[in-house]
């Protein structure tokens, strides 16, 4: 009986986290259905403008505890995050939802590689092999049915993965941010990024006010889905789940996000990657998961220091994707011998901020 109750409790804790990964995976398609070339900045203002007040209400006490140095650091990181969001969202406009979700997942490979170079800490050979596998997969994926140049959207998503990696490293290396509350810091980053979008919107296309007037029921449903589920719901579930299960289990479940991005892209968006593209999908999924596991398994609650107990996984691990998201949402493991970074915000279209949050948040 005890074994059955433990199994049931484990499933009850796993299912909401798995649902976050599914939601983040679907966010690439939702963003693609919503964003256009001339509406990216305005759409991002609306998207985060809807959720920031509610999110701020949830973390208001932690926000009051942030010092001036932490606020400045959060604003700087928010500016970098704005670049990630813009690259991701413009990228998903110009490529398929499947490609977007899989290419941005390379953050899980780039982050330990970059940290290894900066800290001069060698990575396991198995991780290097996983990284090569992932890159080969992206080459096949972007070439699709023939050996042609990658699309502009593919290159933008690749750029987003590189900048997101830089975002993680900056978070990790700014000492003033190491003791900051991860959720409060994420709010500051998202608020700062939203200010950047608002400043850019008049020069890049339609303003948020124009878009709000033009949106019909379908567009508002997509926007609210990205805001309520891919950002707010994802944060709340992570806060709840990390108190019921181990960080490594949360990371494992959130790491399935690229798989769901591919499922939604093929099943609902009608993406047809061809034989080479399908092989690339398999290699990317296998390589990023192998690399994530090889780089550094997250400690269980029994192994983690007391200060880490009850802290959302993004506070302990470098992004695994918007808010969205990369995630805030989810975060990639840190390289061996490297201490954990502060909270990782979700990505602009999905989570892959762990891919656990790689996609557009």
Do the beta carbons of residue 13 and residue 345 sit within 8 Å? Answer: no
Domain boundaries, the chain: 14-296
pLDDT tens column, 167-198: 988 888 787 787 888 889 989 999 999 999 99
- The CA-CA-CA angle for residues 285, 289, 321, to 5°, reads 80
pLDDT at 71: 94
CA distance 178 to 175: 5
More confident call, 221 vs 294: 221
Among 14-28, 157-171, 245-259, 294-308, which is the least confidently predicted range?
294-308
Q: What is the band of 29 on the pLDDT scale with cuts at 50, 70, 90?
A: very high
Across 16-25, 212-221, 266-275, 341-350, which has the greatest mean pLDDT?
212-221
Query: How much is the average pLDDT of 288-304?
Result: 59
CA torsion sign for 170, 324, 244, 65 is: positive
**Percent of the chain clearing pLDDT 70 (strictly above):** 74
In the predicted model, is pLDDT for residue 354 greater than 60? no
Query: Bigger pLDDT: 270 or 326?
Result: 270
Looking at residues 107-112, what average pLDDT do you find? 83
Residue 69 CA to its chain's centroid (Å): 25
On average, the pLDDT of the chain sits at: 77
Whether 318 has a pLDDT exceeding 60, the answer reads: no
CA distance 259 to 101: 8
Give the pLDDT of residue 102: 84
Q: Give the pLDDT confidence score for residue 248 in this predicted structure.
A: 62
**pLDDT for the residue 347:** 41
Range scoring the smallest mean pLDDT among 122-136, 245-259, 330-344: 330-344
Distances (CA, A) of 16 to 111, 330, 348: 26, 14, 21
Query: Of 287 and 152, which is predicted with more confidence?
Result: 152
Please state the length of the chain: 361
Please state, in angstroms and rounded to a whole number, the distance separating the CA atoms of residues 88 and 321: 10
Spatial distance between the Cα atoms of 321 and 106, rounded to a whole number of angstroms: 11
Model confidence pLDDT, tens digit, residues 57-102: 989 999 999 999 999 999 999 999 999 999 999 999 999 888 888 8
Residue 2 has pLDDT above 70, yes or no: no
Q: Is the pLDDT of residue 313 over 70?
A: no
Helices 40-58 and 234-241 pack at an angle, to 10 degrees, of: 40
What per-residue confidence (pLDDT) applies to 1? 53
Work out the pLDDT band at 314, boundaries 50, 70, 90.
very low
């Amino acid at each position: 009986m005890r074994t059955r109750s433990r199994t049931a409790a484990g499933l009850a804790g796993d299912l909401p986290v798995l649902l976050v990964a599914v939601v983040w995976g679907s966010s690439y398609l939702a963003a693609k259905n919503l964003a256009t070339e001339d509406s990216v900045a305005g759409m991002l203002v609306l998207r985060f403008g809807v959720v920031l007040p509610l999110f701020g209400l949830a973390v208001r006490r932690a926000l009051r505890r942030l010092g001036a140095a932490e606020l400045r650091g959060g604003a700087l990181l928010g500016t970098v995050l704005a670049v990630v969001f813009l690259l991701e969202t413009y990228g998903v406009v110009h490529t398929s939802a499947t490609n977007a979700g899989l290419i941005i997942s390379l953050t899980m490979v780039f982050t330990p590689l970059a940290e290894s170079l900066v800290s001069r800490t060698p990575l396991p050979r198995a991780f290097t092999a996983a990284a090569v596998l992932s890159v080969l997969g992206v080459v096949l994926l972007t070439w699709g049915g023939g050996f042609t140049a990658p699309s502009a959207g593919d290159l933008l998503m690749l750029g987003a993965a590189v900048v997101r990696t830089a975002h993680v490293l900056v978070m990790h290396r700014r000492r003033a941010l190491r003791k900051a509350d991860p959720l409060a810091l994420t709010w500051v980053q998202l608020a700062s990024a939203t200010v950047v979008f608002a400043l850019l919107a008049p020069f890049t296309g339609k303003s948020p006010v124009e878009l709000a007037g033009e949106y019909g029921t379908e567009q508002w449903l997509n926007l609210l889905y990205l805001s309520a589920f891919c950002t707010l719901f994802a944060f709340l579930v992570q806060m709840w789940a990390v108190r019921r299960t181990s960080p490594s289990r949360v990371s494992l479940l959130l790491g399935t996000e690229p798989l769901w991005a591919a499922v939604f892209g093929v099943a609902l968006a009608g993406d047809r990657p061809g034989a080479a593209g399908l092989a690339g999908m398999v290699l990317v999924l296998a390589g990023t998961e192998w690399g994530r596991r090889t780089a550094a398994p997250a400690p269980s609650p029994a192994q983690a220091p007391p200060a880490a107990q009850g802290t959302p996984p993004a506070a302990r691990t470098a992004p695994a994707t918007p808010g969205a998201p990369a995630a805030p949402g989810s975060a990639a493991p840190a390289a061996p011998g490297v201490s954990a970074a502060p909270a990782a915000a979700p990505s602009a279209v999905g989570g892959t901020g762990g891919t656990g949050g790689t996609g557009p948040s």
